[in-house]
Structure 1
Amino acid sequence: MQLKVLLPSGVFFDKDDVERIVAETSKGSFGILPHRRDCVAALAPGILTYQESNSAPAYLAVDKGVLVKTGAKVLVSVRRAVQGSDLGQLHDAVKRQFLALNEQERKVREALMKMESTFAGRLAGFSHER
């Protein structure tokens, strides 16, 4: 199977010789083999496991998103993803990357709140001038 992982910024991951995939949904995990019926699934944040021919399982930490299987192609579209060779290394990488993003998102929210309050104050002042 071909496994392709897309992020908003572009293609994150693309492998052509994948034998099996295990993905996480809100209802639990499920496996995909080459001859499984086509399907669509809403992914929960978690670990996506895949195995290429004659190799050990490999892991991707993914944020919530969508998985679409059509024929021999599996397309995963998520907001964020991190690749790792073992689960311990992946856990550390996810922790560093996602915590940094959460801090950045917090700063953006604070800036937006300041802009909104400034706008509301100026709008209120404008209506009193009339």
Structure 2
Amino acid sequence: MPPDRMLLEVLLPFRVFLRKRDVSRIVAETAGGAFGMLPHRLDCVAALAPGILTFETPADGEVFIAVDDGVLVKTGLDVRVSVRRAMAGADLATLRDTVEREFLAQDEQARSLRTVMAKLETGFLARFARLHKPLP
């Protein structure tokens, strides 16, 4: 890796999503807005907001990754991004469609899980209340 290029790692809770060498620039989004990062920027830590992480390499050109909430840490030429969910795309239009489809499906699964959990909790509380009824 040339001395003026960064190593970018995007980490998910269960695996390494991306490890890319020779990164010349990175653009990330925080709650305060987007910021750019070049190789000789000072070390920093940033809380990421859901959005698009953009990076550029000579071989791949500009690459877009949709990310969820997370943290970005830059130490020297190493940049690590830790997020719950991430998806890569060749262009923004394709990435947007993929994100909508995948994240909406995950949101539906989460709603379904909450419904099942509410039913289990209600049943448990009803049985628990019957156990504590005073005997005649």
With structure 2 as the length reference, what TM-score do the two structures score?
0.92
1:75 alignment counterpart: 80
The alignment partner of 2:129 has SS state of helix
1:120 alignment counterpart: 125
Please give the root-mean-square deviation of Cα atoms over the aligned residues, in Å: 1.1
The alignment partner of 1:36 has SS state of coil
Aligned partner (choices 48, 51, 58) of residue 46 of structure 1: 51
How far does residue 77 in structure 1 lie from its aligned partner after superposition?
0.6
Distance 1:94 1:75 in 2: 22
1:31 alignment counterpart: 36
What pairs with 1:102-117 in structure 2 (closer than 5 Å)? 102-117=107-122
In the alignment, structure 1 residue 60 sits paired with structure 2 residue 60: no
* Paired letter, 1:91: R
Distance 2:78 2:8 in 1: 6
The percent identity for this pair of structures is 55
2:13 alignment counterpart: 8
In the alignment, structure 1 residue 17 sits paired with structure 2 residue 41: no
Moved over 3 A (4+): none
How far does residue 53 in structure 1 lie from its aligned partner after superposition?
2.3
Distance 2:22 2:130 in 1: 64
Distance 1:91 1:84 in 2: 8
**Cα-to-partner distance string for 1:72-119 (whole Å, 9 max, x where unaligned):** 111101111110010001001101110000001001111111111111
The alignment partner of 1:17 has SS state of strand
Give structure 2 stretches of 5+ with no counterpart. Answer: 1-5
The alignment partner of 1:128 has SS state of coil
Question: How many matched pairs?
Answer: 130
Give structure 1 stretches of 5+ with no counterpart. Answer: none
> Which protein has the larger Cα radius of gyration, Structure 1 or Structure 2?
2
The alignment partner of 1:3 has SS state of strand
